[in-house]
Amino acid sequence: MSVRVLVTGGTGLVGQGIEYVIENEPANSHFGKRDGEEWFFIGSSEADLRNQEQTRKLFEKYKPTHVIHLAALGSHAIAQLDFLRDNILINDNVLHTAHEFKVKKVISCLSTCVYPDKVEYPLDETKIHLGLPHESNFGYAHAKRLVDIQNRAYKDQFGDNFTSAIPTNVFGPHDNFDMESAHVLPALIHRCYLSKKNNTPFVVWGSGKPLRQFIYSRDLAKLFVWMLRNYDSVEPLILSVGEDEEVSIKQAADAVVNAVGFTGEYRFDTTKADGQFRKPASNKKLLELVKDTGFAFTPFDKALDETVQWFLQNYNNARIGKPQ
C-alpha cells in the first residue's frame, strides 16, 4: 500500500530540511525516500489551517496516510490571545481532520517553550505539565501543550496513533533571518553579514556566556523521518543534541565570524541582558531509540558553515525582513 506523507508548514525551516533529506539521503535507507512513498510539502499559501473547510479540502486533495504537522503561528509580534486561538484552531483542525480521514500517524512539532518556567533541569519528556510556562509566550506555549493532551485523548477514545516531537534550538538553511524576529543564530549570521558588508563593528548583545543546545535542521529532519516510520508511542520525544554538546553564545558568534569571513571589530555589549543562562534538555531517550540506525549529529561548526553558505548564496530570496 502506498504511503502519502503530508507535511504542514512544509515550506519553513524544518519542512525544507525534511524535503532535503528525503531527496538527498540514499533511496530506501533509514532516512531517504522509500519505494511507494509520496511526500507533499505545503505552506500557508495552499491552505489557511485555521479554517476547518480549507483544512478538509487540503486532506481531500492529498489523501494523506501520514502527517508531519509543523505549521504554527509564532511571531513575537502577535498578541497572546491571537497566539493561543490561532494555534489551537490550526492544531485542532489538523488533528481532527486527520482522525476523520483515518490517517495512520500524525507527528506534531512542539517546542521547549511548552516547559514550565520554574522546573528542575535537565528537561525531559515527563516535565511538560509540571507548572506554568514563561509569561512572555504563554499563549503559544499553552496551545502547543494542548497538542499533547489532544494526542492522548484521540488515542484514549479512538486508538489514533498521534504523537509529538520537541526539538531544541533549530537552525539551518531556509531559517528566518529577519533580525526583528529571528532566533539567536540566524540573527547573528545576518548581523555579521551586514557588519562585513558595511564595514561596521559586529556587536553581540550580552556576555556571550549563556549556553544553548542547537540542532541542525537537516539532523532534525532525519529524526522526524525516523519517528514517522518507527515511533508509535503517544509520549512526546525530545529531539536534541546532548547536554554535553551545549554551545555558548560566544562559541556560536566565533563560529559565525569564521564562516562569514568577518575580520573587522568584534565585541560583546555587556550592558545588554544575557537572558536565561542555560535550559538543558536530556536526549537519553532518543539516543537509546536510534542507536542502531547509524544516525549521528552533524558537528556544530560544519552545520553552521553550511547554513552560512546557504544564506550567502540565497540572500536575495531568504527571509531577511526589511532591507538593511
The strand pairing partners of 166, in sequence order, are: 238
Asked whether 234 and 163 are in contact (CB, 8 A), the reply is yes
Distances, alpha carbon 121 to alpha carbons 67, 126, 191, 280, 294, in Å = 31, 12, 32, 6, 28
- Nearest residue to 111 via CA among 152, 154, 142: 142
Q: Which residues contact 246 (CB under 8 A, 6 or more apart)?
A: 211, 212, 213, 278, 280
Give the whole-angstrom CA distance, residue 283 versus residue 23.
27
Do residues 94 and 146 touch, judged by C-beta distance below 8 A?
no
Q: 216 by DSSP, 3-state: which?
A: strand
213 SS3 class:
coil
CA 161/CA 204 separation, integer angstroms: 44
**Which residue out of 115, 140, 216, 231 is catalytically annotated?**
140
CA gap 15, 266 in Å, rounded = 34
User: Could you give the CA distance from residue 76 to residue 178 in angstroms, rounded to a whole number?
Assistant: 12
Residue 140 a catalytic site member: yes
What is the C-alpha to C-alpha distance for residues 69 and 49, in angstroms, rounded to an integer? 11
Active site residues: 140
